[in-house]
Structure formats: C-alpha cells, structure tokens
Structure 1
Amino acid sequence: MKPVIALVGRPNVGKSTLFNRLTKSRDAIVADFAGLTRDRHYGNGRLGKREFIVVDTGGFEPDAASGIYREMARQTQQAVAEADVVIFVVDVRAGVSAQDHDIATYLRRLGKPCVLTGNKAEGMQESAHLAEFYELGLGEVLPVSAAHGQGVRSLAERALDAIGWQPEEEGDGDAEARNVIRLAVAGRPNVGKSTLINTWLGEERLVAFDLPGTTRDAISVPLERQGQKFELIDTAGLRRKGRVFEAIEKFSVVKTLQAIESAHVVLLLIDATQGVTDQDAHIAGYILESGRAVVVAVNKWDAVDDYERQLLERSIETRLSFLKFAPMHFISAIRRQGLGPLWTSLLQAYKAANCKMPTPVLTRVLLEAVQFQSPKRSGMFRPKLRYAHQGGMNPPVIVVHGNSLEHVTEAYKRFLEGRFRKEFNLAGTPLRIEMKTSSNPYADKSGS
C-alpha cells in the first residue's frame, strides 16, 4: 500500500504550496466527509516508481484550548496518527517561533519518523538562518522553496527513505503466483464490515495480521473459498493503540483510499437503516476514479420494512447512478443471508476487470454497433469508426480507431459501452473507451 506523508506546521509556512508541489495538483481529494473539517486535503504523489499519499493540514497549535484552533489541532493530530512519516514545515525567513518549539516537542514525544524542512529558502541554502532550527531537536533542516519547486524532490526522497519504503516489483511476492484476489471491504463506520468478514471467516472475532510493506493499521485477512484464495483488506480496523480523538468519527480516509488502491475488487457496503449518505457517494466516486472492479452490497436488509426498502432502492438509483454497471445485492451479514450470490458477483467482477478481448471480436462488435446506429454528424463530416483493440486491463480499456473521432458524443460512447459490456459480460468493472483519430498524411501539404 502507498505510504502516507503528513505535512505539519504553524499557519502560513507554505504547507499547501508544498502539497501542490508534491501532488503536482493532480488527484487532490478534499476530505469532505461528515465529522471531518475541510482543512484536511488528501492527494496522490509520485517520485519515480514510488507512489505515496500526501495529507495537508491546517495551522497546528498543539496546546490550543478551544474554538476552531482546537478543532484544527485535533485534525492535525489525527493526520499525524495515520501517517507513516511527518514533514515538519518551518519558515526560514521568519525564524524559529515558540509555536515551532511546541510542535517539535509534540513530534519528538510521538517518536514517529520526521523530516524537518525550511520553506521559503530560495537563495538561502547556505544561510546562517538555517542553523537556529537545530535547536528544535529534530536533526538537520532541509531547505526548500515550495513556490519555486527547489529541493522538493530531495525532500520527498528524504521522507520516503526515512521509512525505508520501496515499490514492489511487478509480480513480486507470492500473492500473484498463487492467484490471490485482493478484496477490499469499504464503507462508512458501523455498516457491518467487521461482522461480514467475521461471518466469512467463521470466527467470533477478526483474525488479522499486518502484511510487510503496509502501514501499521492496514489489516489483511487470508481466506480460501472453493479453492480460490482471497486476501481481505478491512478498512474497519481504526482503533489505534494510542489515543482516539473524540472529535473525529472513527473513519479513516487514508485507510479507505489505500485499501481501494491496493485491491483487485472493492465491496462497497451500505447500511440499509441509514440509506445512501454523502460518505457512500464519495467512496463510490473514488472507486470509479481508481478504475477498480466493484460490487455494491446493502447490509442489514432484514432490519427495514418494505416501504423503507423501496425508498432505499430509489435513493441508490439516484445517488449512485454512476455505478449502474456494478451488481447490487441485499444481504444480512449477521444472519448470513444473500452471501452466496454476493461471492458469485465478486468473482465475476474480478474476471470482467481482467477480461481479454480479441481485436477481431472488438472490431466486429464495433462495426455492428455502427451499422445499427451511426454516430451523429458534426458539420459536413460524420465520425468514421474503423476498428478497435484492447488497450489495457483492470480496468478494461478499448481503443477505437478511425477518422474525426473527436466529434463522437458522450452519448454515443455510452451506446458503444453498452454493446461491449453485453458482448463480453463486463458486469462489475468500469470500462474506458478511448478514441484515436488517424492522422491525415496530406493535412500539412498545400495544393499546387
């Protein structure tokens, strides 16, 4: 799983600018979940083959007594608790402050890997101003300029090296060799994730262990069913060995993102007694964005009456309309109802995500679709779709070649998606269709 880097520091030292540099302003996710304020931002970063998650926090005042500053401090403490390494950002030009000392004392007490970096250090790499930051007791200060991008790569390398993390090689480990399916169970707190896993295991409690290379709270559980080996990734293990911050709901954004990223298939669990919430929609959106195969299960189905069931079904159709390709099951984990068909859909979703689609068959389906319904004309030209081939798996990618394909409408792409899904039985997996227009060899030649 991706390691987590938390950016910590007092206000206005440039944490958000550094966050944008580390994530390159791509895939930044605002943690807009119930119970969490919006000053925590999550984004994906990459350094060569090494990927990581960056958490941006608000200004940190460890000893804030009340008000918004106290809430911001709790947010930052939670971010630090779930991080693998902390980057403590200070302002070189402003010098060491009493607040910097308070934060340094807090970080030293935790004993978590920490990298001290002095921001706004453009032109001051050899300045004596850097020396005063050694009194914080966190070792060498690494000068950077987040605004200009100076030293940011070295900072990321230092942070990842502090935890000794390296990416796994392709096909590394025994999981791939044993054909193990990684199944993540995602959802809000108290929807029955642990109950479902315990039911699958046949145990009274969750039997878990930490896999090498994962963060300390990433809980993995091995399971074998009808000869197929699974690795269950549980996102419910949020009880920390240390303090639990009462202001934060027991829901970890980071753990859910990591579980989704590392899984082959994601089971999105919804509580029938509470309906589809904003958190459910956010998680579903990230699953779709990550391109993971997904199955939706509505738990506690036995606890609602017929009228509530009808309302819930309509709510799912409306709020999760973008997951229409995902099989949906109504289950009761505690009563073991509906679990057999659920396993069937999970396996089907995995097979669909890794489906091999021969070029001749794809091209035949494409041409039959065009013959049934031609793409809409754009001006004097009508897009001409010639052939298709597979461009990737998990999720499946279909590349369509032809002329003037930039004019193909989104509605027609959905029409093609439906034809391809029906032909290859692609239930449970996102499908991406890319249009590649052939170049005109005479476009740059003027007539004589």
Structure 2
Amino acid sequence: MTANILDLPADAPRVAILGRPNVGKSTLFNRLVGRRLALVDDQPGVTRDRREGAARLFDLDFVAVDTAGFEDGNDESLSGRMRAQTEAAATAATVALLVYDARAGVTPLDRHFATWLRRRGVPLVLVANKAEGLQAETGLNEGHELGLGEPVGLSAEHGLGLADLYQALKPHLEPETAAAEDADIVPETGPDSGPDEEAVPAPEGPLKLAIVGRPNAGKSTLINRLLGEQRLVTGPEAGITRDAIAIEWEWQGRPVRLVDTAGLRKRAKVVEKVEKLAAADSKLAIDFAEVVVLLLDSTLGLEAQDLRIADQVLSEGRALIIALNKWDAAHDQSRLFQGVRKALDDGLSQVRNVPLLTCSGATGKGLDALIEVAFETRARWSRRVGTAALNRWFEAALERNPPPAPKGSRIKLRYVTQVATRPPSFVVFGNRTDALPASWQRYLANSLAEDLDFRGLPIRLSFRGGKNPFKRD
C-alpha cells in the first residue's frame, strides 16, 4: 500500500527530481510514489508546479519532489517563475536526482543545469532515464562528461534499474542510520526521543481541502497566501496550474491537506490533451476531498460554469463552500453579494444555504474565516445523529406535514435511520414509499437539513418499503 505523506516524519529526507523538460521526471516520480500522481504526456513542459509525494524505494522512505523542466527565461516570464519553483525544490532537497534522456544523449541544457547544481552544492545523483535498449548506450556513456560520477541507468516507464538507484540514494538518505549501526548504538526511547514518540493525530485526521474554480480565479495565489510562501507558480496567464498539487499544512495546530487544481472550463472549450488531463485531475481531486472551496472572481461575478462546477461537487457528495475572491477589487459589494446569494439559491435547488464567504488571496483578508468554516463544515458533514433523536425529529416532521394519500390510500412511514456519513445519508422505511410525490420528499429533506443542522450540505435521502425491525409483533 502506498504511504501517505502525513505518515512520514516532518524531517523526512527529500529527493528532488530535476532536469530539462521531457526527460521523464514525472514518470520517475509516479514510479517512486507508487501511483499516478503527476500528469505525464509527450508534450514538454507539462509540469509547472513542484509536486510532493510519499515515496518508497525498497526499504527507503522519503518525500519525492517532482519539478518543472529547467528552462532559460527572465525571472518575470512563466518559464522564469517555473524555474524559481525548481530552484526552491533543489535548495530544500536532501539529495537531487539530475535526470537526462539517455536516448537523446547529453544536451547543452543538461550541461548548464549540471553546472548550476554543482555551484549550489546540492548532493547529486545522476540518472540516465530511458536507458533500455542498445540505442541508449552512447547517451549513457556521455553522462560521464558532466563530472557527476557514474550515471544510474534506468527506465522509469518500465521500472528497470531501480536497484541501482537504491544503491546510489542510500548513502544520502540513511547516513545516520549507517553510522549508528557501525557503532552499535541503540536509539533511546521515551517522551523526549523525537521521532520515536508516537504522535496522537486528531480523531478526524487532516482536513482534505480542495480549491477549485474557473481559470484565473486566484486559486494558487490564495494558497500561497495561506502558506506564507511562493509555493505555487502564479501570474496573469490563465491556466498556469495543470496538476492537482497537494500540500500538507497546519492551521492553528490542525493539519490540513490543501489541494490546488487546474481551472475548469466548459467541456466544449477543452480540446487540448493536456488540458483534458488537467481537468480529469481536478475532478479526481474533488472526489478525494472532504471540503471543496469553489473560488469565484468577484470582478466577474457568478457564471453558468461556476454553477456547473458547484453541481458536480454536490453530486459527488462533497461539502461545498463558495468564496468570492478578489473582494478588495469588487465594486458595489453589498449588491454583488446578495446577487450571488440569490443566484446560488436559484441555481442549486438541490442544496440550500451553501456557505458563501468573501476573501482576498492577494491581501489575506477573510482567509482565517474561510478555513474555520471549512473545519466546521466538515464536522457537520461527518456528523451522525442518534437514532432516538432522529426519529423524534421524524415524528415532528410527519405531524407538521403528513404524507399525502394518493387516490385515497394512505402512505404510512414507520421510521428513519442514518446509514452513512460523509455525506449524511438516511433511509426512510414505510409502505408504498414509491408513491411519495417528489415535492413531499423535498419537504422532508429540507426539514432534515434545517432542523438537524445539515444546512448547505448534500444529503442522501432514500425511501424503502419493509417492516420495522424494532417493532414487536
């Protein structure tokens, strides 16, 4: 089973995967983490942000960091901003893998990158990827001219050469362990022994929070503001983010897994393969999130695509929050807020009172309130109502508005039970439940949401015929 990055200690070693575009860095990253996390395509430059994942290579556990391809460009250009992310990954790495394409051989950009890394003093392992087959032999030998030692020949796509990579990485990742073994040192145990102390996680685990929205809504800028660092590539260009990037973070001592996603456009406008892959990655992030923040650009207001995204989130059963970003640049704020509130209530008839907040990723205003509401929303989304309290509510709801009697034949509803959480799911048992009008079913669902504090959450309410197992004959 693939490890979770939260299961690794905070000081876990970091292996940054570096190199020019299209040498197979993301393929190697996916191989090390044991699943497809990074987007992979023949088109160069697919990766733009640095992505982290818990990796295992035999008995070595570490954080693998995928990076954008190293390219020339001024600091203000998109390639320059991508290079800054790569440089940050190299600086924070325990060891870097400099990857080149063995079939293409060593290129001038490979030499430039190798020189740059040597000057920074980053511990390096040279990796010749795509080394399967005779045509790679020449390129494999060319790696010696970089002056970085013996290249490790492997094929990330086919999983070849990983044992050699293990031998090259082990001295960098386990130097203290090796020294302790040589000295026959037994690590201390106890409350002050650091990594040996077992941390007690919060019962609910980290908040899995995905930020979604149309392109250029400010998702990456907002996450950078939360983190207090330029962790994600941002800029005026639409569609910079492609991968869904998960970042482990803490808010007031509580763990959060923030997920930045690619902007979601109308399906008809998505024609390029890479954008289709990015959209699929964003939708997968929604599936695995607990709470999804739909970020709107306040200067543009609510559009039909926003409602489609919101409907998708609710259909997947995820807890949803709507956030009006760039609020500091919005005009006639009161009218805008009320207009968006009404449009949401009209356009999302399946769920009433979805939380609507205002914030600014540029200034940080409203972000603490956003995270606080996200935790509170997850708590309600995960809540289970006791059977006795649930059926007291049910009796009161039936008394307020009894089910109709189509064609004079009464429908008798016996009891209700909660069958699941996340999202809250309920089943009502009775006879002739298939004859219940949709309008009355909506009444019951709305009453449940209002009376039992599930407002703004997707609720699964189904009806089933059958006998009450709690009733004695």
CA distance in 2, matches of 1:392, 1:263: 17
Matched, 1:233 2:273: no
For residue 196 of structure 1, what is the amino acid of its counterpart? L
Q: CA deviation at 1:325?
A: 3.7
Q: Which moved more, 1:403-412 or 1:320-329?
A: 320-329
Aligned residue for 2:462, secondary structure, equals: strand
**Of 197, 209, 217, which aligns to 1:191?**
217
How far apart, CA to CA, are the structure 2 residues paired with 1:270 and 1:192?
Answer: 8
Shift of 1:257: 0.5
User: 2:319 corresponds to which residue?
Assistant: 293
Give distance in 1, aligned partners of 2:286 and 2:386: 28
Partner residue in 2 for 1:262: 288
The CA deviation string for residues 156-198 of structure 1, in whole angstroms up to 9 with x for no partner, is xxxxx989xxxxxxxxxx9897711111111111111111111
Check 1:176–1:416 CA distance in 2 against 1; reply closer, same or farther (3 A cut). Answer: same
Q: Take 2:396 and 2:322, find their aligned partners in 1: how far apart are those partners?
A: 32
Is 2:355 aligned against 1:327? yes
Q: 2:466 and 2:324 mapped to 1: Cα distance?
A: 46
Asked if the contact 2:244/2:261 (under 8 Å) is kept, the reply is yes
Equivalent pair of 2:206/2:255 in contact (CA under 8 Å): yes
- 1:23-62 equivalences in 2 (<5 Å): none
Give the whole-Å Cα distance in 1 for the aligned partners of 2:326 and 2:349: 21
Matched with 1:125 is none
Offset at 1:205? Answer: 3.4
Please state whether the residue corresponding to 1:333 is helix, strand or coil. Answer: coil
Letter in 2 for 1:186: V
Aligned residues: 275
Aligned counterparts of 2:279 and 2:201: Cα–Cα separation in 1: 26
Which protein shows a greater Rg? 2
Instruction: Tell me, yes or no, if the aligned pair for 1:272 and 1:312 is still in contact at 8 Å.
Output: no
In structure 1, the partner of 2:436 is 408
Structure 1 partner of 2:414: 386
Corresponding residue for residue 22 of structure 2: none
Letter in 1 for 2:447: R
Q: 1:278 matched to which residue of 2?
A: 304
Counterpart AA for 2:419:
G
1:359 aligns with 2:387: yes
Match of 1:338 among 366, 370, 384: 366
Q: Equivalents in 2 of 1:360, 1:264: separation in Å?
A: 27
TM-fit CA distance, 1:387 = 0.7
Compared CA separation, residues 308 and 422, structure 1 to 2 (3 A): closer
Deviations 1:302-333 (A, max 9, x none): 22221555544444343344442421112222
Structure 1 residues 90-101: aligned runs within 5 Å:
none
Identity of aligned residues (%): 35
Between the aligned partners of 1:52 and 1:423, the Cα distance in structure 2 is 43
C-alpha distance 237-276 of structure 1, shift in aligned 2 (>3 A): closer
Amino acid at match of 1:359: T
Unmatched segments (≥5 aa) in structure 1: 1-50, 54-75, 83-108, 111-136, 138-160, 164-173, 208-215, 239-244, 441-448
Where does structure 2 lack aligned partners over 5 or more consecutive residues? 1-34, 48-102, 105-132, 134-156, 160-199, 234-241, 265-270, 469-473
Change in 2 beyond 3 A, CA 1:178/1:371: closer
User: Letter of the aligned partner of 2:393 in structure 1?
Assistant: V
Taking a change above 3 Å as real, the CA distance of residues 419 and 246 of structure 1, as seen in their structure-2 partners, is closer
* TM-score under structure 2 length normalisation: 0.50
The residue matched to 1:418 in structure 2 has which SS? helix
- CA distance in 2: counterparts of 1:194 and 1:175, whole angstroms: 28
In the alignment, what sits opposite 1:180? 206
Q: CA 1:402–1:315 in 2, change beyond 3 Å: closer, same or farther?
A: closer
Query: For each residue in 1:394-445, what CA deviation from the matched residue of structure 2 results, as whole angstroms up to 9, or x when unmatched?
Result: 10111111111112222222221222223331134211111011269xxxxx
Q: What is the rounded CA distance, in whole Å, between the counterparts of 2:312 and 2:302 in structure 1?
A: 15
What's the CA shift for 1:201? 1.0
Instruction: Determine the structure 1 residue equivalent to 2:69.
Output: none
1:372 aligns with 2:400: yes
Partner of 2:79: none
Partner of 1:438: 466
Give the match's secondary structure for 1:375: coil
What CA distance in whole angstroms lies between the structure 2 residues aligned with 1:310 and 1:368?
33
SS in 1 for 2:374: helix
Question: Residue type matched to 1:190 in 2?
Answer: N
Asked if 1:305 is matched to 2:305, the reply is no
> Take 2:465 and 2:243, find their aligned partners in 1: how far apart are those partners?
47
Question: Equivalences for 1:97-176 in 2 at 5 Å?
Answer: none
Letter of the 1:385 partner, please give it: L
User: Structure 1 residues 382 and 344, CA, compared in 2 at 3 Å: closer, same or farther?
Assistant: farther
Which of 436, 447, 454 is residue 426 of structure 1 equivalent to? 454
Contact 1:194–1:236 (CA under 8 A) maintained in structure 2: no
Q: Deviations over 1:116-170 (max 9, x none)?
A: xxxxxxxxxxxxxxxxxxxxx9xxxxxxxxxxxxxxxxxxxxxxx989xxxxxxx
Shift of 1:379: 1.2
Return the alpha-carbon distance in structure 1 between the equivalents of residues 214 and 158 of structure 2.
32
CA contact (8 A) 1:217 1:237 kept: no
Are residues 259 and 289 of structure 1, via their aligned partners in 2, closer, same or farther at CA, if it must alter by over 3 Å? same
TM-align CA RMSD: 4.2
Correspondence for 1:253:
279
Conserved in 1, the CA contact under 8 Å of 2:298 and 2:324?
yes
State the partner residue of 1:141: none
CA distance in 1, matches of 2:289, 2:401: 37
Partners of 2:279 and 2:272 lie apart in 1 by 16
Distance, in Å, in 2 between the alignment partners of 1:280 and 1:162 is 41
**Maintained 8 Å contact 1:219/1:237:** no
- What's the secondary structure of 1:394's corresponding residue? coil
Which amino acid letter does the alignment assign opposite residue 354 of structure 2?
A: A
Contact 1:381 1:404 in 2 (8 A): no
Check 1:319–1:388 CA distance in 2 against 1; reply closer, same or farther (3 A cut).
closer
